[in-house]
Structure formats: structure tokens, C-alpha cells
Amino acid sequence: MSRKNRSALFVPIKLLLFAGMFALFACSPPERHINHGMYYWKSADFEYSYRIDSTLNHLKVSKVFVKLFEVEMDSVLGPVPASVSEVGLWRLRSDEDVKKNIPARQVIPVVFIRNEVLKYKKLDVALLADQIVKFAYGKASTYWNRDVKFDELQIDCDWTESTAQRYHELIAAIKQKYQGKVSITLRLYPYKFPDKMGVPPADRAVLLCYNLLLPSQSGTKNSILDIDVLHDYLDGTDAYPLPLDVALPIYQMSYLFRNNAFEQTVDWHPKTSEIRYDSLGNGVFRIRE
């Protein structure tokens, strides 16, 4: 994977931290119960398997957050819910679960909204909120072939300071039309600077503590979770106005560098690689020519 007179480096980023969801408290209570949850972001079809079921049971996962669809810009129609994800929400209980008295897991649908949607000058916030809620109910019902009503709908959006007001209005409109709780994902920047970004009128937020550095700027650092960078965001901040959960990463990535310049993200790991390489230490590998 390297050309003549060029060197290729793989920097595998591997984290085995469980994506736990737990409440943050301004003070330390004597006891704190942690409810584990898991995000599933892939767009490919998901087939339920007992191996996955066993893993979720072992990690005591009680909630599963699944991306239901995305809202993107159409050149003709403008902002529209797009069914880019064909992930079948897995069965809440298998026959073996029933026999073993394993409780059903709570599935929470997640809708991803691209920030460019909020920049659309002709955006009808009330109409988009209505479309999102109806599409969420319809898509979920299709998965189970019956009417489904979720206790919670989560909105995921990398909103910015320039789109903050519209995003807040959209969350408020969704809350008016949705029959359950509306939660949001929260990046570290709006968490640290609520005075600039405002606080969306949601019922709850999940602080996403991953993807802290750009791969092109990370070098040999772990761009998924760098503790020093995380501390910079968390230290000295006041308690966030919304009830807050935390999401930690459990996935891995490898970065390909040529001539010390970042080229791309690749699906590679030294333990499963058929390519010859030399370990340079600190998670860096040089691919042999």
C-alpha cells in the first residue's frame, strides 16, 4: 500500500471503552446507578444474532440508540427526511430471551439533521418538525409491521453558532408534536460555551466525548479520545442546564499517512493484516514496500 520512495504509516486508533450512558451530577452523591446504553450508527442492514445479543447482555445494555434516518438538503424539495439508513431495529426479545426472563431493551430512534438544513433561508421549521415526527413513527412502524410509539426521540445535529437559533426553534417545534421526550446529542463546544451556542429546549442531552481531533492534525495522538483535549473542554465549566448523559467511544479506526501527511481513514488492524509491516511503537506501523 506504499509507492516506491514513499513511506506509509498506519496509526490504528483502538478504544474498548463501553459507550455508557450515565448522569452527571454537580456534586458527588453517595451512590450512583449507571444505566448502560449503546449507539448503533451504521447504515447497512443489521441482522439480529445471538452473539450480539450475548454481548449486549454481558455489558448490561438497557438502551439501544439507533439512527432511524437523516434530514438532508434536496436540490428541488429543500430539506427532506431521507431514508438513507436501512438498519432494521432488532427484535426487542428473542425466544431465548423470553425463556431466560431477560427484560426487553429500550430502543430509542435517533434522527440526524445536517447543519446545512438549518442554513436554508426558506426553512419552514414547523413543517420540518411535523415531517420528522411523522416519518419517525412511519419508519419505525414499518420495521415492526405494527404501530409503534417510542418514549423518546433523539435529535443528532452538529449545529453551529450561526444556526443555533433555528435549531432551538426546531427542537421546540418537535417537542410540541412528539408524544414522548425529546433528547439531543451535544458536542463539547456547545457544552463548554452555552453563552455562545445557547441551550436547546430539549428534555435531556447526551454529551459526545469522542472525535476530539481531526485525523489530519492528530499525528500519533488518539483523535477519537485524547484525555488532555477532553479536560480542556470539561475543566472550569458550570453545570449544564439540561440533565446530561455521557457517550464514550467503543470503535476503532486506522489512519494512513504518506510522507508524514494524512491521506485517508482505512479499515486496517495489525492483528488481522496480511500486509507486511514494522512496528514503530506508540501504535504506529510502517508498511513494507
The pLDDT of residue 259: 75
Mean pLDDT, rounded, for 186-200: 95
**7 pLDDT more than 50:** no
Q: How confident is the model at residue 158 (pLDDT cuts 50, 70, 90)?
A: very high
Say what the pLDDT of residue 210 is: 85
Q: Give residue 9's pLDDT.
A: 45
Minimum mean pLDDT range among 172-176, 204-208, 211-215: 211-215
Asked if residue 154 has pLDDT above 90, the reply is yes
pLDDT band at 204 (very low <50, low <70, confident <90, very high): very high
pLDDT tens-place string over residues 81-95: 886 555 544 444 445
Average pLDDT over residues 220-227: 76
Which of the four pLDDT bands, split at 50, 70 and 90, describes residue 220?
low
What is the mean pLDDT of the segment spanning 206-229?
78
pLDDT reading at 64 higher than 50:
yes
Supply the DSSP string of the chain, one letter for each residue: ---TT--EEEEEEE-----EE----SS--S--PPEEEEEE---S-----HHHHHHHHHTTEEEEEEEEEEEEEETTTEEEEE----PPPPPS--HHHHHTTPPPPEEEEEEEE-HHHHT-TT--HHHHHHHHHHHHHHHHHHHHTS----SEEEEE----GGGHHHHHHHHHHHHHH-SSEEEEEE-HHHHH-HHHH-----SEEEEE----S-HHHHTTS-SS--HHHHHHHHTTPPPPSS-EEEE----EEEEEEETTEEEEEE---TTT--S-EEEEETTEEEEP-
Q: For the chain, what is the mean pLDDT?
A: 76
Does the pLDDT value for residue 123 go beyond 90?
yes
Greater model confidence, 286 or 101: 286
pLDDT of residue 196: 94
pTM for this entry: 0.77
pLDDT above 70 (res 195): yes
- Given this model, what pLDDT does residue 90 score? 45
Q: Is the pLDDT of residue 76 over 70?
A: yes
Top-confidence range, 165-179, 199-213, 214-228: 165-179
Q: What is the pLDDT of residue 137?
A: 80
Q: Could you tell me the pLDDT band of residue 218, with boundaries at 50, 70 and 90?
A: low
Q: What is the pLDDT of residue 114?
A: 94
Q: Give 44's pLDDT tier (boundaries 50, 70, 90).
A: low
Whether residue 32 is predicted with pLDDT greater than 60 in this model: the reply is yes
Buried b (16+ CB within 10 A) or exposed e, 138-157: ebbeebeeeebebebbbbbb
Q: What is the pLDDT of residue 189?
A: 94
Question: Cell numbers of 149, please?
Answer: 410509539
Range 195-214 average pLDDT: 91
Name the pLDDT band for 41 (thresholds 50, 70, 90). confident
